[in-house]
């Protein structure tokens, strides 16, 4: 009950100021009160860049008072735009109840997400589970239209639709050749540290084979192949197929509630 009440409180705060992250905001206001305006505004700009729209609004007021109406209007515009996104349901909160994205998103965390049609490889996305229209899933987009995906001994291999030159240029250390075909091995593991396997899950016949080996599949137009970052504990495209990108899809922005206070305000990538 206390957690739900707190989540509701957080939501109210977000609607008003669009952020629970208050460290830089508080530091900035304290510095301004001390007469250190330049340092204080630096803190406010950091808070604003992290999504603290109370800081954004305050920056607008400060620039307005100094006569810089152009900069002030830019900050006020940001505040108004995000407020409208809430009203139009283009920005909303989600509660994470699954461990499939551990360690990127922890169980029990609430996250803020924005509706989007612009999905790229490697993005975190929240979408309606194809098998249950009332349930939202959070996964990582692994491959998009025309890409080919396969799994061998738990390692992910992607053949990007742009061809060999693209793969060699963008993934020089991860590009390998298998049966005279060029693939990128584990393309996202180095840039997204939350991606991991569970060493206790071994191929001894008691676990689904899709966790260990998955035959090559080409991703259809306007769809994407998704996987959880907690690879061996995720119900994803390996088991039920791809996600249509023209549906209701959100992109996570940052953590707004966590049992670990240090994660509140954390940007999600």
Question: What is the tens place of the pLDDT at every residue in 39-98?
Answer: 888 888 888 887 777 788 778 778 877 888 788 778 777 766 666 666 666 788 899 999
8 Å CB contact between 183 and 155: no
Question: Structure pTM?
Answer: 0.72
Alpha-carbon distances of 52 from 37, 42, 64, 92, 200, rounded to whole Å: 19, 13, 19, 15, 41
Q: pLDDT for 144-153, tens place per residue? A: 999 999 999 9
| Distance (Å, whole) CA 165 – CA 170 | 9
- Average pLDDT of the segment spanning 205-224: 97
From 13, 12, 15, 71, select the one nearest 45 (Cα to Cα): 71
pLDDT at position 123 over 60: yes
């Amino acid at each position: 009950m206390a957690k739900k009440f707190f989540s509701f409180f957080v939501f109210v705060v977000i609607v008003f100021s669009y952020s629970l992250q208050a460290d830089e905001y508080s530091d900035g206001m304290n510095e301004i009160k001390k007469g250190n305006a330049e340092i204080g505004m630096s803190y406010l700009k950091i808070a604003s860049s992290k999504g603290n729209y109370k800081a954004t609004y305050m920056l607008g007021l400060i620039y307005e008072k100094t006569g810089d109406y152009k900069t002030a209007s830019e900050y006020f515009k940001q505040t108004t735009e995000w407020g409208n996104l809430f009203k139009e349901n283009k920005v909303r909160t989600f509660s994470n109840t699954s461990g499939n994205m551990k360690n990127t998103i922890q169980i029990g965390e609430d996250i803020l997400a924005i509706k989007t049609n612009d999905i790229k490889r490697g993005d975190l996305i929240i979408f309606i589970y194809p098998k249950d229209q009332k349930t939202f899933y959070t996964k990582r987009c692994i491959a998009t239209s025309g890409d080919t995906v396969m799994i061998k001994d738990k390692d992910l291999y992607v053949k990007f639709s742009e061809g060999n030159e693209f793969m060699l240029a963008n993934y020089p250390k991860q590009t390998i050749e298998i049966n005279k075909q060029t693939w990128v091995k584990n393309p996202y593991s180095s840039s997204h540290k939350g991606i991991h396997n569970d060493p206790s899950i071994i191929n001894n016949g008691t676990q689904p084979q899709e966790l260990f080996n998955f035959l090559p599949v080409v991703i259809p137009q306007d769809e994407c192949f998704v996987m959880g970052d907690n690879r061996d504990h995720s119900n994803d495209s390996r088991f039920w197929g791809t996600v249509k990108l023209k549906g209701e899809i959100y992109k996570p922005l940052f953590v707004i509630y966590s049992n670990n206070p240090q994660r509140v305000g954390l940007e999600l990538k």
